[in-house]
Amino acid sequence: MKKIIVLLSVLTVLDGSLFAGGGGDKAPKGEVPLRFCWWGPNSRNDRMNTLLDLYESQHPGVKISREYSNFADYWVKFNTQAAAGTQPDVSLHVMQSVQEYVNKGVLLPLDEYVQSGRINIADWSNAAISPGIINGKQYGIIYGLTPQGVLYNAALIAGAGLPPPPQNWTVEQFKAYVLELKDKLPQGVWAVESAADSDHAIEIFMRSKGKSFYTAEGTGLGFAKQDLIDWFTLWDDLRKAGAVPGAVLSAELRNAPYEQTLFGSGKAALLFQNANLIPTFQSIVAGEVLITREPRVNPNIPGDFFQPTMFGVSAKTKYPAESAEFIDWMVNNLEANLIFKADYGAPGDPDALKAIQGAATAVENRSYSFDKLLLEDKTIPPSRARAEGSSSVFDPCLRLAYEDISSGAITLNAGVDRFFQEAEAILSKNKPNR
């Protein structure tokens, strides 16, 4: 199958007619100016620029305009561009917001390119394809799948005289472990950074209760007020005990570069974070960075899920076929995958994953081993794209609710009531089964 893709790529360069798209029009002669945007730390940007240079060298006439920033700024900029219809030709998306962009007509369905083989995902697993299917159509092509876990600094924990955290533990076991750890760490080192307003962490918590964050239709919340009280109480108890930072410091650290986080600077022993970032943190943390699964409420119900990072194409692009060819190269080209080293998570293409694993360092294989562990766990419930309006539900609604609770500006129950009122108002505007 890969040989067919290589042949198509060669023919595409030789015959501009193969670039037909957007109603069958040929791309203009001369340079094809594709805009592409992504987020990440400097190490990811360096890798991305290296492989984009390679793409341009292998595709004469294509010039890629590169737009990148940190995760928070990425969405501020993309939202502004999408509202004006000036978004890049190719962009990256996550499950938190892709449903909203599809519903608003920002992204182009890619079914014709998948069905024709121009974007070749024929040998991908359903787990690697399904996250990009929104409203019955293929809008996203997976670039990386990564689960979130609890990273831990093995040196700090060993220095405290504690065993490593277990691979399977309950929320109560996690709480007891953190409280014991905080008493044995050096002064100025926190047991764990707060995950009270982490979208992944709270969703895993709810899933491990046998619930979901949203209803299937996306028109309401899928859990009860008591569930959120339980979640906030966990983190409020840890904060009051001095195991996690308070509201002010947590807010300051929310969008900090990885090296400036408490965990990254060696001032926290645990961090709720995506598995694909193990190599990034290992490059800046003195102790060995390892990972375990996030705690669950019900020991028999794992809440884990794979966070997809996926390519999308602008509905406004003048170059849909060229965008599709670019995506196909990014996800299937083995050389490109070896350069990028699955920095967004495990690739969907099985050949690419095999090649990456074979060339991986011991540190990189910590991420892949964790991916494999969860991929083989058939008890993990399925996940789906989040409801439209999800970004606002999490930020500012959830974030401000916990900030006000932890700062003492509002009681816990009042904060939960306010969150439910604001979130339900946002979600009630959604239309089911679009």
Q: Where are the domains of the chain?
A: 2-145+306-375
Radius of gyration of the chain (CA): 22
pLDDT for 432 equals: 65
Which of 170, 141, 207 is closest to 386 using CA atoms? 207
pLDDT for 221 equals: 97
User: At which residue do the structure tokens 């400097």 appear?
Assistant: 42
Strand, helix or coil for residue 411: coil
Global pTM reads 0.78
Query: Of all residues in the chain, what percent are helix, strand and coil, respectively (each to 5)?
Result: 45, 15, 35
pLDDT for 4 equals: 39
What average pLDDT values come out for the chain (434 residues) when binned by 10 residues?
Answer: 39 35 44 96 95 97 96 95 98 92 96 98 88 92 94 98 97 98 97 95 96 92 98 97 91 87 97 94 96 97 92 98 98 96 90 91 92 83 84 94 94 98 96 60
Chain centre distance of CA 369: 18
Q: What is the token pair recorded at 25?
A: 């029009």
Please say whether the beta carbons of 197 and 205 come within 8 A.
Answer: no
End-to-end CA distance of the chain: 35
- Which residues, in sequence order, are bridge partners of residue 137? 134
- Does the domain at residues 2-145+306-375 carry the CATH identifier 3.40.190.10? yes
Strand, helix or coil for residue 38: strand
pLDDT for 252 equals: 86
Residue 106 backbone phi and psi in degrees, to 5: -80, -30
Calpha distance 169→166 (Å, rounded): 6
